[in-house]
Each structure stands twice: as structure tokens, then as C-alpha cells.
Amino acid sequence: MEFSIGTCAKIDQVSMVKQAEDLGVSHFGVGEGPLLFSDPYQFLALAARETSTIKLGTMVTNPLTRIAPVTANSMATLNALAPGRTYLGIGTANNALRSMGNSPAKISELMHAIEVSKELMAGRRTTHTWRGQTTEVEFLDKESGYYNVTDNIPIWVAAGGPRGLAEAVKYADAIVYCLGPNTDMIKLIRSRLDKAVADVGRAPGSVKLVSLSWFYQLENGETWEDGVTNGFGSGPISSCITNAGLMDQHRDILGDQIVDASITAAQQYLGDPTAADQPHYLDTWAKYLRGLDPRHRPIITKELVDYWCLYGSPAELREKTALMRESGVDITQVFLSNPFTAQRDIDNIGHSILAHA
């Protein structure tokens, strides 16, 4: 089973990657948030030295906090430390840019960054547009060990909405989507992905679907409320934010109730930017992925938890994981929303899910 774990980079917890590898996790990715977390590439470089089989990547970087040649260099350098077991996870960004008071990247900016990074990571010359200029770029010494452009670096794209998906499949090896164990949502995204792949003339199945869920294993006597408090915190709201637009376009398949609930949660979290009492964006994001912010607890309902989260008893976790794969997910991924409890969660994933795969 291909099973991926994502979390934010916390530099004093690099050992969790070796823990995940030993338990059978196939991929480990760390997010990028310049004001929020440790630097992902320093984290991944240390992890590369401590591991030997697990695949390492960003989950996710974006085209604005680092320009494409810088991203390509960082990945190719990591690929020299961990040959053939790196992947570039990239998207328009949610937390990284919103936490700085900025808007996410445009699809055109994302696609250009992917195209440039892909060519550079393969050792080829390409053109890069930046600050109004278009120039040729190429790694200038590919033989001296500065970077590894020989072993392929797959590209995972976090893309939502019709246009993002249609553009991403031109380059992506995998598409990352916020998905829980709801089969209607999974089948919708799977069908859209397969159509987009066919539309650009790529082979069926050439682009994998990676689900991104929020994880918690319930202990004896615990309820979904404990999952929120002790596990994924406000993580499910991120799924609402990233999927609200697409869900609104497919009410006929998904149903008004979950669509309205997800849109409402996203709006309540982000707030009204025109309101006089709107909190400062730094305050809004101050506790992001650091456990549960009590201010957001009323937003998170059981309906949203059931829809976006992989949680339950060990047996329920195995059942839900199997259901997601049967519905079209190629790689199951959980994002551990609290690095302070990540080691506990990794241990539960290994013993409750992977040990029975």
C-alpha cells in the first residue's frame, strides 16, 4: 500500500520521518509556511540522512515564496541526498500566502513554475519569466555533484477547480485533493481527473489521485469531539476552504447540505474582509496547525468531520481506507495537523492500518 503522511516542518522532530519509514509509510511530505513552520528543505535534508527508502517531498510549496529556479535547485539538491526518492509537491498555496496577508498564486503562475521546475530538474534548458523578463535558464554544472538531475523527480500538484485540474494534468504525476471517506466526492474527483487526463492525450492512469485527509485514531470511549480536540483540530476547515468553489458547482452530485456546510465553515474561518472588526490576518493564522483554536471549535461539526477526516477505531480506520481506495484513490495521504502529537499518530497509522495492508 502506498500511504503518505504530511505535516508541517518542525525542525526538532525530524526523527518522525524515520519512525514513519520503519512502520511502512511510503511517502513523507512537509508543508511550507514562512511565518508558520520551519523551512521544509532543511527538514527534508536532515530526514534524507536518517532514512533510506521513504520518499520525501514538499506538501506543498508554491510559485511565489520561491521562484521556480530556486524550487528546482532545492529539489535537485535534495535528490542528490536521497537519489530517486524525492517528489515536488506544489500548489497555489493557502496557509503560506494567506498567513502573510497575500492572495494565493494564480493558476498561470503555478503552471509556469511547474513547467520551468520540471525542465530544470530534468537537466534541460528552458525559459523563465520573472519581473517582466523572459530569459533562458539551465543548471550550469550537472556533473560535479551539486544536484541530481538524473533520477526523476515526480511532481504532485495540489489543484482545485476545473481550470486548475485541466492545466495540472499536463505536467503532474499525481494530483492531490482534500478528500475524506465520502465516496460521492471521491468518485467526482476521480471522474474529473480521468477526463482531464484523456483530454490532454495522456495515458489512462498516468496521473495518480492522492487523497488528503485529517487523521485521528479514537481510543476506547472517545467520540468525534475528542478527535477534534485531541487530533485534527481545525484542519477540516482547510478542506472546506480549498473545495468550496468546486463543491458549489456540483450540488447535484454532492447535495446542498454538505456544500452549504463547507462553504459556511470556510467563510466563518476567513471572515468578512470588509468588516470593521475583522481580525488581523496574523491573529487568524497564529494557531494554525497547532492543535485546536477554541475560536474555531463551533465551526467544526460532526458532518464536516465525517466528510473530510479519516478517523475512528482501528477497525474503522482500515474500513475507511479500503473504501477510499475502492472509490478511486491511488495514494492515501493524511495530514497530521498538530506536530506535537504527530509521533503518536504515526504509530497508530503504522500499527492500525499499514500492519494489516
- Cell numbers found for residue 182: 465520502
Q: How far apart are CA 20 and CA 331, in angstroms?
A: 16
Please write the tens of the pLDDT for every residue from 155-175.
999 977 778 889 999 999 999
Task: Indicate the residue type of 251.
Answer: R
| Grid cell 512502520 in the structure block, residue | 23
Q: How far is CA 8 from the centre of its chain?
A: 10
What is the rounded average pLDDT for all residues in the chain? 94
95 pLDDT band (50/70/90 cuts)? confident
- Cell numbers found for residue 110: 503555478
DSSP output for 292-308: --GGGGGG--HHHHHHH
User: Which of 81, 156, 76 has the alpha carbon at shortest distance from 120?
Assistant: 76
Least confident of 211-220, 233-242, 344-353: 233-242
In contact, 316 and 160? CB cutoff 8 Å: no
Pairing of strands 155-158, 86-91: parallel
pLDDT at site 348: 98
The C-alpha torsion from 218 through 320 and 249 to 267, rounded to 10°, is: 10
Q: Give the DSSP letter of residue 239.
A: H
Q: Give the DSSP letter of residue 291.
A: S
pTM for the model stands at 0.94
pLDDT at site 84: 97
Least confident of 69-78, 258-267, 279-288, 316-325: 279-288
Q: How far apart are CA 285 and CA 237, in angstroms?
A: 12
pLDDT at site 211: 97
DSSP output for 135-166: EEE--S-SSSSS---SS---EEEE--SHHHHH
User: Which of 194, 187, 226, 136 has the alpha carbon at shortest distance from 324?
Assistant: 187
pLDDT at site 274: 66
Please write the tens of the pLDDT for every residue from 44-68.
999 999 999 999 999 999 999 999 9
pLDDT at site 100: 92
User: Which of 345, 300, 308 has the alpha carbon at shortest distance from 324?
Assistant: 308
